[in-house]
Structure 1
């Protein structure tokens, strides 16, 4: 396991754990921003659960890298969906780029977990 793998995993956990929990708990600002993309509150909570599961998988991946790689790949898929949803909603570049960057960081984390 490399230092880069640990750093990227911790960074992603620090981002996705609180975001996922906020979605699960129906934090109003996150719900209103996501509802305008066409998702129901139940779907938003499901997305939050996937984010929390991804974060938990990344933590577990620090001890068993194949699980971390799978979690990172799952986050890549989730983030591709986020970028597509924002683009379809007509959002500007400032809303489309963050999921793309996070997807790239997640992909790098997956690669580092695989080669570790």
Structure 2
């Protein structure tokens, strides 16, 4: 189970890292998507920081189980919030959000199973 967590955790961490970089640098595609669901621009640095910390936590979780569990829970909560924002804005193209949410749930389950 640990190898499965390592693969899922590293892939999710990479995705979160690229997303955080895009948010920090305000790449138009990412910023436009967040504006479409009415995320205030002032939230972007905080959201990027949360994604970056989630990525670091998932990687640290390879060695320290509680950090990996906490990071996975944090990523799950982040993407539940993202899904809520999409639904509130009546943006039903939330497949990417749901997929990342499910991958984060898988990371949590795999980390707990390999502890």
TM-score normalised by structure 2 residue count: 0.91
Cα offset, 1:62, TM superposition = 0.7
Equivalent position SS for 2:80: helix
Counterpart position of 1:3: 3
Q: Which one is further off, 21-30 or 73-82?
A: 21-30
Cα offset, 1:86, TM superposition = 0.9
Cα offset, 1:76, TM superposition = 0.3
C-alpha separation in 1, matches of 2:12 and 2:62: 13
What is the alpha-carbon root mean square deviation over aligned residues?
1.3
Whether contact under 8 Å (1:19, 1:51) holds in the other structure is: yes
Extract unaligned runs of 5+ from structure 1: none
Whether contact under 8 Å (1:21, 1:49) holds in the other structure is: no
C-alpha separation in 2, matches of 1:29 and 1:100: 19
Extract unaligned runs of 5+ from structure 2: none
Equivalent position SS for 2:37: coil
TM-score normalised by structure 1 residue count: 0.90
Runs of 4 or more, structure 1, over 6 Å off, are: none
